[in-house]
Every structure is written in structure tokens, then in C-alpha cells.
Amino acid sequence: MNKPNTEHNKFVLLRAIVLNKYGLVLVAFIVWMLFFDSKNMFVQYKLTNRIEELKNDKSDYMTKYDSVLKEKYNLNKDIVRFAREKYFMHKENEEVYIVK
């Protein structure tokens, strides 16, 4: 007995599905949405990467914001000490020694 050629049958079935009018419209729609639409897959990929970059930037800025808030609190708490330590300010007739 002859074995039925399953590869040939699959190809014929696939060709029949794609070459009918609904299959052609479906293939055309998929190609249009993937490559030619204003929101195609390349644009979506770039936008996804940009969103990830912005999320990382947001976390960096939040940590910087927290450190600035702490510095502001310390400045308001003891402004004279802050000026002396940060900007090496001193009073008249006063000598300042910087030790590192």
C-alpha cells in the first residue's frame, strides 16, 4: 500500500487557506499591522525600551530627591554648622583648620 504524503497534504491545505479571499485579507492585514501602520512593531519596541529607560531614570531621580530632602532638613536644622562645613565660612578674627 502507498503511504499518504502528509507533507504534501499540509502544503495543499495551507495553500487553500491562504489563497482564499479571507486568507488573503488576513495576511494583508497582518503585514499591514506589522510593518506599515503608524504603531507597527518597530515603533512599539522602541517605545517599550524608552519606557524602561524612563522608569530607571525615575528611580535614580527619586533617590537623588530623597538625599536633597535630607540635606534641606539638615540645612534648616543647623544653618551655621552647614555653612562652616560645606563652604568653609568663618567669623571675623577666627582661624579655620581643615582636617581631612
Query: Residues 56-90: pLDDT tens digits?
Result: 999 999 999 999 999 888 888 888 887 787 787 88
What per-residue confidence (pLDDT) applies to 2?
Answer: 55
Q: Name the residue range of residue 23's domain.
A: 6-87
User: Would residue 70 count as lying in a domain?
Assistant: yes
User: Would residue 57 count as lying in a domain?
Assistant: yes
User: Would residue 93 count as lying in a domain?
Assistant: no
User: Would residue 100 count as lying in a domain?
Assistant: no
97 alpha-carbon distance from chain centroid: 48
**63 vs 83: CA distance, rounded Å:** 24
User: Would residue 68 count as lying in a domain?
Assistant: yes
Most confident of 18-27, 31-40, 60-69, 86-95: 60-69
Mean pLDDT confidence for 47-61: 97
Percent of the chain whose predicted confidence (pLDDT) is above 70: 94
User: Would residue 1 count as lying in a domain?
Assistant: no
The answer to pTM > 0.95 is no
What per-residue confidence (pLDDT) applies to 3?
Answer: 60
> How many domains in the chain?
1
